[in-house]
Structure 1
Amino acid sequence: MKKAIVALAVLGLFGCVASDSDLAKEGNWYQIGYQDGMVGHSQRSHKRLSELGDVQVSDYENGYSAGIAEYCNPNFAYQIGVSGQYYEGVCEGTEQAQQFRMEWQRGWNEYNN
């Protein structure tokens, strides 16, 4: 129950987050990267980022790393799977990758049953 409440709170916060275009105009590439990582998206290419504006790649990468560190928490992986969110493999290579994948798979299996 606690996991569900925390996951819903995190997802709810994304409703208040500025759009990528707004963040790019502000030069907030860290936040763009953080948002991508927090929702488990694969890291964007330089070409895709530069479509938004004058990209600061290091800021984006730092934000992305911080977001992935939070997303890859195995304590929330089951909830991510059971909510139907597809896992793009972004946690591979992290310390808790195997545990995350197992918990996500357990939730994903339940979602698909």
Structure 2
Amino acid sequence: MKKLGALLLASLVLLSGCATLSKDECITADWYSIGYEDGANGYPSTRIASHREACAKHGVTPDLRAYQDGHDEGLLGFCTERNGFNRALGGYQYNGICPPSLEPEFLDGYEAGRQIYTVRSEISSLESEQRSNESEIDRIDEVLIEKEAALFATGTPEDQRRVIYEEIAQLKERKGELTQRNQELIRKLAEAQARLRVLEERYSYY
């Protein structure tokens, strides 16, 4: 678990990039405030490494103590139960930055929000698949009209009719699969929406 946490923190530092601060921001930096903002926004304290890299080219060295003090203060506002809930609703991936004294409360909210986020994501995925299937069914219907017109056209050669007939059979088979899948999706959507209503009611106090 500790190794995983370390990897997550390292990834965040890499993703944050080196241009975290501009030249003017480096020169006029209030490192306590910068630390506070990073903590309040859920960045790990290791983000100062990116600030150090951004400011080194301008001859500015961060005040580590001031930054850390600000970061600790910022975490007090970040690591709350309500913020954990709201962050999870937005898909935030917790990286273990809350101190032990605040983490249990944060995780209570985070877990509640995560449950809702997971079900909402499931619903979104099911709805997206349903729309995609319906679009494909519409396209198949359009092609079937064209194929059937060609099949019964007086000028269509017999060998061509056999090819078209097979194509029509395949299209109808595909349409049947999509229709059956959409019926399954309707059932799954109803179940997921019911679960979502239960969760939203259960955690309505947030």
The normalised TM-score by structure 1 is 0.71
- Identity value in percent: 23
Q: Structure 1: state its 5+ residue gaps.
A: 1-18
Q: Structure 2: state its 5+ residue gaps.
A: 1-19, 56-60, 120-206
Q: Residues 97, 51 of structure 1: CA spacing in aligned structure 2 closer, same or farther, 3 A cutoff?
A: same
Aligned to 1:108: 114
Stretches of 4+ aligned residues off by more than 6 angstroms:
none
Q: Residues 45, 107 of structure 1: CA spacing in aligned structure 2 closer, same or farther, 3 A cutoff?
A: closer
Whole-Å separation in 1 of the counterparts to 2:35 and 2:48:
12
Q: Provide the aligned C-alpha RMSD in A.
A: 1.9
Aligned to 2:44: 42
Matches within 5 A, 1:1-113: 20-21=21-22, 22-44=24-46, 47-53=49-55, 54-93=61-100, 95-113=101-119
Whole-Å separation in 2 of the counterparts to 1:90 and 1:47:
16
Deviation at 1:52, TM superposition (A): 2.6
Residue 113 of structure 2 aligns to which amino acid in structure 1? G
Whole-Å separation in 2 of the counterparts to 1:44 and 1:28:
17
Larger Rg belongs to = 2
**Equivalent position SS for 2:46:** coil
Count of residue pairs the alignment pairs up? 94
The normalised TM-score by structure 2 is 0.41
Whole-Å separation in 1 of the counterparts to 2:49 and 2:87:
29
Deviation at 1:96, TM superposition (A): 3.0
